[in-house]
Structures are given as C-alpha cells and as structure tokens.
A and B are shown apart, each in its own frame.
Chain A
C-alpha cells in the first residue's frame, strides 16, 4: 500500500522508545485505512530507529518514513516542523493523526499552520462518512461535538489512552522509506541540557487504583486525607482542575480533557461534581465509587456506588479501616 494519499500517524520516539500513544494510533489508523482502502504510514523521526520501525510495521504500518539523525534524537520544533512539512508536501497524505503529547501537539499545531490545514484536538473517536471524510468526535456539553477538518491532510490529535495498542505481528511486511535530513548550518535554537524525569504524575496513567479529589476537598489540609486514603489503598492520586489551580496538588495529577487519560480498575472520586471534561479522562472503571455531599451531583449518574455525605466525615474512618491493622 502506497505512502501517497494514505493515512499517516506520527510515531514519537523518546529516549529510544516509541511512546505507547503512537502504537495506539496505529491500531485505530489501521481500522480507518482499511475502511478507506488506503495505505497506513508511520512517520518516525529520531536516531537509531531501525528496531522502532520494525515495531511499527508489526503494529500495522504498511510504510515507515524514517528520518534518522543524531540531531533529531530529542524533539526540536526548529528541525522537526520543516521536515514533516516537507514530507506532507511530497507525499500528500489524506489524514494525519498525532498523539496529544508535548511534542505531538506542538508538531501537529505548527505543521497545520504551515500548510493551512485544520486540526481537531481532544478526539476520542473517528468515523469515515459516505464521502470518505473523517468525522472527529470530541466530548463536550454532555455529548460529542462532531468535527470535520478542512484542507489536506485532515489532521487530529488524540490523547494517550483513548485507543488500545494492537497485538504486534512480527511476520507482517512493510516498507521502510528513508527521508533525507541535513541540519541547518546555523540554527536559532538549541538544547543546552536534557534531563530525563519520570514526571510527578506518579504512574497515574498505569494505575489500577486511583483516588481522585476535587474542589469539594476544600483546602490543602483536607487534601492530606486524599493522600492518606491513596496511601492506604496503595493507589495513585488524581485530581480535577480546581485543586490544581488552588495549588493543593501538581498539575501532572489532573485527570480529564486537558489533563491525563486514565484507565483504572477502581476509581474513587471524592468531592468531584462529575463534569464531562473531567470524566471523559476516566476510561471504564470496573468499580467506581463517588463521595459528594450534594445528592444531585452529576457524578452520581456515572458512579456505581454513591455516598451522599461530607467527605471529612467519611474519609477519616475509611482511612483507618483500610490502613494496615484496620479491622478490614
């Protein structure tokens, strides 16, 4: 299947590994490409990429466009943006999907502006309509807004965790296409230092148990109850936006459309009203318990079990019961 007029996925390499979202997008990309009967290509930029290219083919790519250079090891807009623009102008993809990572969002936005194409953010589902146009679904206002992007290609970003990683098949055949790259002689920007940092999200995206607190927690002191409960449950701590704005907790812990996408088995929501922009980041928990003093809170529509009570009354005994030596 050809690179021309196909469906493209930006495959992002960080520290020599593919980000999971790149593979997630290949799974969905494969489904859409088959619907359209076009090729699926992954765009891979970085250094020492051979094993990653093979992984992409195993996960569904027909072609991998590879730009391999030591200077491309870390994401750098000044180098990546013109390179991707060049690839688009040469091969004219129909659709181009990006993970909503720091690098993915930046590259998608900048490239879209350069070629004058529309870019839809926060997509959670795609459909192909009868005219072979990509319908892009974005959660908002208690439903889904359906967008179309104009221009070529149709571009969209998708948060990590929306789609699942396909089963790799290392028997699959695909083509690797090398793309020339030569760094500018006098770049205007450079990376002076790079520090790897696990981030303060505390494994939120992989966590099986999450205790999340909202505005209802009320203050930094009460926030300790959330931390203690999470500790007792060996869970990760999550938050809505107000606790982040108030500075009770780091921004990395925010769950929802502009934060993390999580897939816990057990989700405990404390003092959270249940706004869609928060809940759209919580994917199908098997056990969902909500504590909120307002019986009309929207969160009770979505939780499996609800407690209508002041959280400061429920959390202390609950922490006690769940802590080692508690009578549970």
Chain B
C-alpha cells in the first residue's frame, strides 16, 4: 500500500486574547493588527493533531501548508515541533488581503503542486474571519470530496469514517480518499509543545513559495482575486448606558431579584 500523504492547512491569527487591539481605521478602512502576537488558529491545532495521530497509527507523512505574513513562520515552526514533517509557507505580498475564495485558490494550487495528498485537514472555522468557508472551497478547487465539521475520525481499510455534526444531529459518513476534512474541537485534545521536539523541528524543512511558484496570476490572488470587497464602514452610535445599582452585595442581589420578579409579573414572561 502506498504510504499516506497528509496535509494540514494552517492559519496564523492574532492572539484572540488580544483581539480588542485589532482595530479598523474608519477613514482608510484598513484593519490594523500589527504588533499583536500570532498563534495557530485554535481549530487548526486540532486539525494538525488529527493528522499527526493518523500518521502515528498508520504511517505516512504530514505536511503543513500555511499562507500568511512573515510573522506566521513562527507558527509553522511550532507546527513542525508538534509533529508535522515539513511545511510549505506561501509568503508573498500578492497573497495579501485575500478573502476565503482567494485563500482557498492559493492553498489548493499549493496542494496540487505537492501531488494532491490523500487526506487534507483544516479547522472547521478560523479564529479570524470565522467564515468556515476555506475548507469546502479548497476541496472544490481540487475537485475532491470533503466532510465539514467532523468530531470523530477513523481510518480503516483505506477508507475514512467521519462523524459529522449536521443540522439534525450527526451523521456517520464513509469516504474514499482523496478527501478533505474540517475538524471541530471535540475531535481530540492537542498535545502540548515539548522542548526536545522543538529542537528537532529546527532541522525540518520549510519551503517558501511565492505566487509565481503556484503558477497563478496576481489577479487570482490576494485582494484582487477576492470575491468580496469591503467598501464602507459605518460606526454605531454610542449606546445609552446602564443604570448602575448601588449597595452591598446582599442589597444588590435583592434589587436584581425584585426587578426580575416585577418584570415577570408584568406578564411579559
């Protein structure tokens, strides 16, 4: 049997704990996120973990594909320390400002260039943008099937079994490779970083590819290749503000209880 080639698409995002520092300039409508530490988008870590566990159980290799600004290199390094074997870093100004469509197009081109891995993992949504669109879109650009929102996975006899969360409950699905899978957090508990692995990872290879390496023109990529454009920003009017309840905890608790009771007696609830 051919050894299993697994890819993980990984996004580097501003640390969600410092999300409040991400701001918009209402004049230029550009988003400021410089200087905020970047992390691997949390669900992508679960995707990486799923890929590495599969490799540990069945053999094969795990390659990380990441498109991002230069700061993302650190996150790629971390992914290598967490069990990936090598990585492709799509780094080029031409990729900047991409929406999900342009992102998926670039990632799909890179995956194709890698000789189409049998299994591709993504997080179900990112912690920046959080559209959940990129996974299913990569699958379309590659012309392969996908399962979205997977919470349990098994690989047996050359087939993938995935339990996916649906609108009516969940479905156990079976699929032939090649397949793309987007994972939810319930799928696993990602391992922690170990120093010995981090040191070993420094020897692992990161290939840096530009738009030219993908054979895509600049109008298929980045802002120009995007399907949606933000063209205006409307600030909200300042909200009115709460009436602050004063007193000791016991008094305040009583006042809240009374307010709720009165409201309920008003027959509205």
A residues whose Cβ falls under 8 Å from a Cβ of B? 12, 14-15, 19, 74-75, 77-78, 81, 101-103, 105-106, 108-110, 112-114, 116-122, 135-137, 140-151, 188-199, 208-209, 233, 241, 245, 251, 257-258, 265-266, 275, 277, 286-290, 295, 299-309, 313-314, 317-318, 320-322, 326, 328
Contact = CB atoms under 8 A, between A and B. Distances in A.
Interface string B182-196: 001110000000000
Contact of A317 (B145, B184, B250): B250
Nearest to B20: A275
Contact of A78 (B31, B145, B185, B229): B145
B174 A112 contact: no
Interface stretch (B5-13, B63-71, B110-118, B237-245): B237-245
A313 B228 contact: no
Given A81-B140, A302-B239, A188 B227 contact: no
Find the residue from B101, B228, B256 having the highest chain A CB count within 10 A: B228
Given A141-B24, A233-B260, A309 B228 contact: no
Determine the main DSSP class of B at the interface with A.
mixed
A288 B244 CA distance: 12
Given A103-B166, A110-B137, A314-B253, A192 B172 contact: yes
Interface of B: 16, 19-20, 22-24, 26, 31, 42, 99-101, 104, 125, 129-137, 139-141, 145-149, 161, 164-176, 179, 184-186, 226-236, 238-245, 249-250, 252-254, 256-261, 263, 268-269
A12 B167 CA distance: 10
B153 to A, nearest CB: 14
Contacts of A142: 235-236
A305 to B, nearest CB: 5
A52 to B, nearest CB: 15
A194 B149 contact: no
Contacts of B132: 105-106, 109, 121
B227 A189 contact: no
Contacts of B261: 328
B42 A266 contact: no
Contacts of B269: 208-209, 265-266
A251 to B, nearest CB: 7
A195 B101 contact: no
28 contacts: A15-B168, A19-B167, A102-B149, A105-B132, A106-B149, A141-B24, A143-B233, A146-B230, A188-B145, A188-B175, A189-B176, A191-B172, A191-B174, A192-B174, A194-B169, A195-B169, A197-B168, A199-B169, A241-B16, A287-B260, A289-B260, A302-B242, A305-B242, A305-B245, A307-B252, A307-B256, A313-B249, A320-B253
B171 A191 contact: yes
Nearest to A318: B253
A145 B244 CA distance: 31
Contacts of A135: 232
Contacts of B179: 188-189
B140 A110 contact: yes
Given A103-B167, A142-B235, A317-B250, A287 B140 contact: no
Contact of A148 (B42, B171, B231): B231
Nearest to A322: B257
A45 to B, nearest CB: 13
A193 B172 contact: yes
A265 B145 contact: no
Contacts of A105: 131-133, 148
**Among A113, A301, A305, residue most surrounded by chain B Cβ atoms (within 10 Å):** A113
B241 A300 contact: yes
Contact of A117 (B23, B169, B227): B227
A287 B167 contact: no
A234 to B, nearest CB: 10
A294 to B, nearest CB: 12
Contacts of B164: 102
Nearest to A143: B235
Contact of B263 (A103, A266, A275, A309): A266
B234 to A, nearest CB: 5
Shortest beta-carbon contacts, A-B, top 8? A118-B227, A197-B169, A306-B242, A109-B133, A113-B137, A146-B232, A317-B253, A113-B140
A290 B242 contact: yes
A113 B256 contact: no
B231 A109 contact: no
A328 B257 contact: yes
A303 B242 contact: yes
Contact of A265 (B148, B238, B253, B268): B268
A116 B99 CA distance: 12
Nearest to B169: A197
B131 A301 contact: no
Contacts of A108: 133
B263 A189 contact: no
Contact of B227 (A150, A307, A318, A322): A150
A251 B43 CA distance: 13
Contacts of B252: 307, 309, 314
A199 B149 CA distance: 14
Contacts of B139: 110
Given A143-B235, A290-B242, A305 B229 contact: no
